[in-house]
Amino acid sequence: MAALVETINLTRYFDIGRGQRVHAVDDVSLTIGEKEIVGLVGESGSGKSTFGKTVVGLHGKTSGSVKFRGETLPQSYRPADFQRLASKMQMIFQDPYSSLNPRMTVGEIIAEGLRLHSTLDSKQVQARVEEWLVRVGLQAGHMSRYSHEFSGGQRQRIGIARALILEPEFVVCDEPISALDVSVQAQVINLLGELKETLGLTLLFIAHDLSMVRYVSDRMAVMYLGSLVEIGKADAVYFDPKHPYTEVLVGSNPEPDPELERRRPSTAIVGEIPSPVNVPQGCRFANRCPKVLEQCRSVTPQLITLKDSERQVACHLYN
């Protein structure tokens, strides 16, 4: 499978003064193939959203690089870079309530990308907006309404239409269903699946829910405190996790059957997640890991490919 997007040792730090900085994304290398869906999972604060925003240029890179179709993208985007890349890379944001401008009509929100990045005239823009409103399950007559008049699920559909109206090749979906009711989540996931098939999209799907990520993704990448700890086929990672952190994440995913859920032993992670400002030496999961080795506290494990497998794991248990 040809690589569409590739990050090489991608790092993003945030300076917070007094010589300190937050290690939001630290030395992440990940390849996303053309027309592939890669799910990115991890706890809140693990750096998933920052990674997605850095890939599409909303955050500048501290170090490392991002390649799109083999082209190395700029460290920090200038307006001309956004102009050139907007039709190729887009993002669907997490919160459908804060990501839409309340002063703009739905038609203006969805049309903004076309007005900035295409040569269509006003009638053509309006026709495309109406087409995409229908395509995401809304009505053409909704163009003149404002975002506060819609439910959360409808707002997320508006956000999807805004991102996809330029028909980009690569889309970062930053927890697009986390703020929605369960029934609405399924509708949005099915909509993304349909659009992926019809448009040939490549997606980076960021989420907390491992079972949902397994359902929608071809491969799954697990992030902890800014670093990747495991990458592999989605089903393989979910049903046969190798890294102790992945094991705990999978074990904490609730069982649909209430009786099985009551009988299941607790898999809560003990201890506190280390500070991203003072990242510990060695494995970042060592202070919470049930299988910790002596070397885990001093030597940082590298992401290696397991024998006879496509699985990559950063853990001393497999060295």
Give per-10-residue mean pLDDT for the chain (319 aa): 92 93 96 96 93 96 96 93 91 86 94 90 94 91 93 90 93 86 83 88 92 92 96 95 93 70 65 89 93 94 90 94
pLDDT at 271: 76
Whether residues 203 and 286 fall in one domain = yes
Domain check: are 154 and 262 in the same one?
no
pLDDT (0 to 100) of residue 1: 67
- Check residue 129 and give its pLDDT: 95
Instruction: Tell me if 96 is assigned to some domain.
Output: no
Residue 44 falls inside a structural domain: yes
Q: Does residue 116 share a domain with residue 72?
A: no
Q: Are residues 233 and 312 in the same domain?
A: yes
Q: What is the pLDDT of residue 257?
A: 63
Residue 188 has a pLDDT of: 84
Q: Is residue 135 a part of any domain in this protein?
A: yes
Angstrom distance (rounded) from CA 214 to CA 257 = 18
Task: Report the pLDDT value the prediction gives residue 307, as an integer from 0 to 100.
Answer: 86
For residues 175 and 306, membership in a common domain is answered with yes
Whether residues 222 and 81 fall in one domain: yes
Residue 272 exposed, middle or buried by CB count within 10 Å (0-12, 13-18, 19+): exposed
- My answer on whether 303 and 256 are in the same domain is yes
Residues 193, 112 share a domain: no
Q: Is residue 31 part of a domain?
A: yes
Q: Do 163 and 118 belong together in one domain?
A: yes
Largest CA distance in the chain: 67
Let me know whether 76 and 188 are in one domain. yes
Q: CA–CA separation, 84 vs 81, rounded Å?
A: 5
Q: Strand runs (DSSP E) across the chain, as ranges? A: 3-17, 20-33, 37-41, 63-68, 71-72, 89-92, 170-174, 202-206, 219-224, 227-233, 304-305, 312-313
Q: Give the domain extent around 35.
A: 3-88+168-318
| H/E element, 124 | helix 122-135
Residue 284 shares a structural domain with residue 195: yes
State how many domains the chain has.
2
Shared domain check, 126 and 58: no
Q: Residue 245 CB: number of other CB atoms within 10 A?
A: 25
Supply 163's token pair.
Answer: 């991102």
**End of a domain among 167, 189, 216?**
167
